[in-house]
Amino acid sequence: MNDIIETPPSPYWMLHFIVKHGDWIAILCGALPLLASIACVVIFAVTPWVMVAGAVASVFLFLLMRAFVELVRVIVDMLLPK
C-alpha cells in the first residue's frame, strides 16, 4: 500500500514563489539596468552619462519591484487561505 498522501499543487504557486523569493527578485531587477549601462559604456564606448541613466533606472525599478513584492505579500497574507 502507498502510505504517502500527495497534496495537490497550489493554484497560486507564483504568488507563493514571489513571497518566498521576492527580495532577491527585486535586487536582481534593480541591478540589471545598471549592469546593462556599464556594459554599454565598456563595449560600445558610449558616453558615461548612460551609467547615470542606468543608475536612476536601477533605483526606480528596484523600488517598483519592492512595492510589488510587498503588495503580493499583503494579498497572500490577507486573502489566501492558510
* Domain assignment of residue 54, yes or no: yes
Structural domain that includes position 70: 28-79
Grid cell locating 80: 489566501
Quick check: is 19 in a domain?
Answer: no
Task: Count the domains in the chain.
Answer: 1
Of 24, 5, 34, 16, residue with least CA distance to 77:
16
User: How much is the pTM?
Assistant: 0.79
Q: How confident is the model at residue 2 (pLDDT cuts 50, 70, 90)?
A: low
Q: 5-63 pLDDT, tens per residue?
A: 777 777 888 988 999 999 999 999 999 999 999 999 998 888 889 999 999 999 999 99
CB-count burial class (<10 Å; 0-12, 13-18, 19+) for 14: exposed
Query: How far, in Å, CA of 1 to CA of 46, rounded?
Result: 68
> Which pLDDT score is estimated for 52?
92
Asked if the structure places residue 75 within a domain, the reply is yes
Nearest to 26, CA basis, from 76, 73, 75, 80: 73
Q: What is the mean pLDDT of residues 75-80?
A: 87
Block residue for cell numbers 545598471: 34
